Structure 1
Amino acid sequence: MHSKKIMAGVLGVLATTFILSGCGSTSNGTAASAGSSSKPAAKKGPYTIGYDIYFAGNSWSVQLADEFKAEAAKHKSEIKQVDYTESNGDINTQISNIKSLIAKHVDAIIVTPNSPTALIPVLKEARQKGIVVVLLAATINSPDYDSLVTVDDTDFGKVGAEWLVKQLNGKGNIIVLNGMAGISVSQDRWNGAESVFKSYPGIHVIASANANWDYATGKTAVSNMLAAHPEKIDGVWSQGGSMTMGAIEAFQAAHRPLVPMTGEDNNGFLKMWAKLEPQGFQAIGVSKPTWLSADALDTTLDILDGKPYKKDNVLQPPTITNSDLSKYVKPNMSDSMYDNTKLSNSELQQLFSK
């Protein structure tokens, strides 16, 4: 995952976004708060924590997990062990993994739900058995969790859409690149964007695809859209990940003029953007920080210690524009990394040289 070739063989999140990279909507979080149950009782450490790696097929999700591991290393006196599972983006595997963690009697489970509905029964079971449940970067349609740590993905979608509409003066044909089908992140981002586009009758979405936040999938999807739509395309609304890199290259390969595009804080995209900016290329980077996983661990430890905590920690998505692009892009670092990170350059180099 340190090059586009490797990225081409894997699926592109949190994520996401800020998943999520990268993930959940404020509406889901608010509803959950309204119906939340009593707070869990404090436990005695050191703790055993279950962490489900929802997906390891893109560099955002890998960086998300590494940020968690780096934070866990800082709490060795508080954490007896971390039991890691990996769900490979599959909800049935994730349900099985959560059941396995329940059977091990872990003190807490941190999970990025691959479905907003299918995981509810098993998470409810975990809480009934006294296990703290913290959702990371994606939501469920239920109050059956103790805390949520994410970015407002509905706003993530709106921010990019509002910027794109402004660039096009409210008129034009656009194409859409969504993330992974089924996960709340992708749906919430599109819901936010769609709510903006519906307010502008001059904006026409002429094609869309679920490109999984992945470079190769995004490039193929845009290549197919360009072939199917010889008419003028005026803009690209992309959920980010590495998809916008693929979109840029697809336009170049088809000898079509570059148009305003939305993206994320993926370093490969930022490097392309910086190179093309002198030629008039316009873009925006909306971020879902990979350090959300570190915050999720800190929140989990607060809950286990009996300290005050918020049920819903929903951050507004940070953005990068042409005016501050130079502050974020890292020309000598891997294309695969995400720039809104708490990992050191040496940690990032080690991670993306694997």
Structure 2
Amino acid sequence: MRNGFKAALLGTLAAGFLAGVGHAQSQPATPAGYQGAPRTELFNPALTTCIRDTSKYKKAPPYTIGFSNAGLGDSWRVVALDELKQGAEDHKDVIKKLIITDAGHDDAKQVSDVQDLASQGVDLMIVSANTEKALDPIVTRVMRQGIPVIMLDRRISSDHFVTYINASDPMMGRLWAQWIVEKLHGKGNVVLLGGQAGSSPSENRMNPAKEIFAQYPGIHILDTVYSDWSPVKGKQVMQAVIAKYGHKIDAVWSAHGLQVPGSIEAFVEAGFKPGEIPMHTTADVNGPLLEAIKYKVPMLEISDPPSQYRTAIDVALKVLSGAAVPCTYTVNSQISVTPGDETPSIKSDVPFDSLGLPDKPSNYLVTNDLGPTYDPTTAHTQYPH
């Protein structure tokens, strides 16, 4: 694995102590950044943390694990699936089979997929839900059948699962918003550029961001648009927003980096010169990091590492061993801000200009931990199946 940009240090409170699981990220020659446990866990003001007793799920290996995937609609999910496969390969001594289904981002198909996995007698199921509400009834039913379910990256609307693994969507949403507020000194116009409407990562980042913005009367949300995590659609929706508001736009709060290249391209084609494009938020994706430097766009990067999918295999084995796990398993996120754009609340863990990879495509994820030769377009990750 590459040294440097490490964005998946896993923290968990269990059995009265803090444990960490880390994965080095695929960023060559980058200075090590924040290496502690997830800040969302350490800074949690609650007196107690929800811990799940999994002793009833304890059984002897080998195991058959099912994975119901929402789909492979963007580069993040392609890399994440390779991370999951690698995790199973890492533990092939105890994992007999990993059964993977792909719903193609269709709720009805995913409900059927979950039913099918349950009928195959899997020992544990990992689910990344296409939308929160549509998958809730079937996941709840599977749990009642006695099959433990881990929600990964995308959750259901209820808490009917063993644990939920993610990089803290509310943290990302709030920090992005707070940075924008502080950069604008509490006065300005913001466009919200969401991902997929109804998906938990988009909604659970956007709603907390709105709570931050609402505290500042001088901040006005001009428009809310959705990109389906696509740079193409991101460009289309932002072209319409720019045509309507033009230079009145002071900031673009984006729910991830996948759609940001399209947004910046829309501003460039609209005649915005370097230094004139509004500040953007981003995550994981190579293109925005390079474009921020090229076009002098103030930018805040908070990683949502796809390596959480490999972590899901580690957590699955904990559950099947009967070990207690937290109700929410939070992976660590690195923070990086373009030079000169730090604010009182937002500081860089790693230098921003060290993150982008000029020799990689725009949609390349700099936060994978699959090694320096990994290429998602040619990778054929081995795993037990």
Shorter-chain TM-score category?
Answer: 0.7 to 0.9
**Which runs of at least 4 in structure 1 moved beyond 4 Å after TM superposition?**
33-39, 349-353
| Greater mean alpha carbon deviation, residues 37-46 or residues 221-230 | 37-46
Q: Which residue of 1 aligns with 2:35?
A: none
Percent identity over the alignment is 29
Residue identity in the other structure for 2:125 = I
Is structure 2 residue 311 aligned with structure 1 residue 295?
A: yes
Pick from 348, 365, 369 the counterpart of residue 342 of structure 1: 369
Q: SS of the residue aligned with 2:97? A: strand
Is structure 2 residue 277 aligned with structure 1 residue 261?
Answer: no
Aligned counterpart for 1:328 among listed residues 355, 373, 376? 355
Given that 2:193 and 2:224 are in contact with CA atoms closer than 8 Å, whether structure 1 keeps it comes out as yes
Amino acid of the structure 1 residue aligned with 2:207: N
Q: CA RMSD in A?
A: 2.3
**Does the aligned pair in 1 maintain the 2:63–2:123 contact within 8 Å?**
yes
2:207 to 191, 195, 198: 191
Is the CA contact 1:123–1:133 (under 8 Å) kept in the aligned structure 2? yes
Which of the numbers 97, 104, 119 marks the counterpart of 2:113? 97
| Residue identity in the other structure for 2:312 | A
Q: Are the equivalent residues in 2 in contact too, given 1:284–1:319 (CA < 8 A)?
A: yes
| SS state at 1:143 partner | coil
SS in 2 for 1:117: helix
SS at match of 1:302: helix
Are 2:90 and 1:71 equivalent residues in the alignment? no
CA distance in 1 between partners of 2:326 and 2:52 (Å): 12
Letter of the 2:299 partner, please give it: A
1:46 aligns with 2:62: yes
Q: Which amino acid aligns with 1:302?
A: K
Judged with a 3 Å threshold, the aligned counterparts in structure 2 of structure 1 residues 297 and 153 are, in CA distance, closer, same or farther, namely same
Greater helix content = 1
Name the aligned partner's letter for residue 345 of structure 1: P
Q: Which residue of 2 aligns with 1:19?
A: none
In 2 relative to 1, CA 287–139 (structure 1 residues): closer, same or farther, beyond 3 Å? same
Checking the alignment, whether the CA contact within 8 Å between 1:219 and 1:246 is kept in structure 2 is yes
Say which of 266, 275, 283 aligns to 2:294.
275
SS state at 2:319 partner? helix
Q: Out of 145, 167, 174, which is 1:151 matched to?
A: 167
Moved more, 119-128 or 50-59: 119-128
Q: Provide structure 2 residue ranges, at least 5 long, that are not aligned to the other structure.
A: 1-39, 340-350, 381-385
The DSSP-based 3-state class of the residue aligned with 1:148 is: strand
The number of aligned residues is 321
Give the distance between the partners of 2:282 and 2:176, measured in 1 at CA: 8
Deviations along 1:15-42, whole A, 9 cap, x unmatched? xxxxxxxxxx99xxx9xx8696764331
Question: What SS is found at the alignment partner of 1:138?
Answer: coil
CA shift in 2, pair 1:102/1:352, >3 Å: closer
Task: Tell me, in whole angstroms, the C-alpha distance in 1 between the residues paired with 2:235 and 2:373.
Answer: 30
Residue 233 of structure 1 deviates from its aligned partner by 1.5
Q: Is the 8 A contact 2:52 2:325 kept in 1?
A: no
Q: Which amino acid aligns with 1:261?
A: H
Helix, strand or coil for the counterpart of 1:82?
Answer: strand
Partner residue, 2:150: 134
* TM-fit CA distance, 1:159: 0.8
Summarize the Cα distance change of 1:352–1:219 in structure 2 as closer, same or farther, 3 Å threshold. Answer: farther
Residues 237 and 261 in structure 1, CA contact (< 8 A), matched pair in contact too: yes
Following superposition, the deviation at residue 275 of structure 1 comes to: 2.3
